[in-house]
Chain A
């Protein structure tokens, strides 16, 4: 019976390793997401109501297109919020984007300065790429760590 349990646990480890092997995010995924998020920050900070609405629609459209492309390419999908301990990197990305979006909005509403918004857009791009790659690495390591 113990041998059967050992064989089953080994099969589980193999299956999880197979998932890790499939989770190879295309190199362009996070840069495109970062550009879309940076564009969102700029549009939302500088634009009026219509521009803000268009910015939100564009960002959501790009995000959906990226998810669709990822699924088509890899044949699997793992939500950032459904990835165990690795989810903390996806949550960190969401927090950074939220803070940057609010900061950009405040700058756009209360000052005429443009450079802080461009800096925030740069932070958004870099944070999206770096945290996205950390999420991928953490998820693969977690899956390979065992059942």
Chain B
């Protein structure tokens, strides 16, 4: 896999089917449905302690806005990922082009996905920092790889935004 900036696009080329599939899973991975731990992490309370009035107002007025914001980001990413539609064979050596104006949506969707996966799997800080962990021998290992792979993409996009 190669990743580079080309004019107004971030280009991820020579994608193998496995990484292409991981990319395609970003929107689904960001979904908190049926995962209370993930829901709690993504929509954390605005205050610690017992200020129930603020928390109730937050749930009523702020949370729906945040939901919309997050959903818009995953929809943008989902639309970009349509470039990777197809069967496994046709996914070999595919190229994904992300318009740089979508960079913020990608950062958000990747972050949502990483947080949701980490919350669902209850990863420890030690596990998350173990970047040399290998090989992938279980569903949990795969999820950890997914978190790290998405983190790598985030780092690249952040670097590009910085330049």
Whether A and B are associated in the same complex: the answer reads no
Interface positions of A (Cβ within 8 A of B): none
Interface positions of B (Cβ within 8 A of A): none
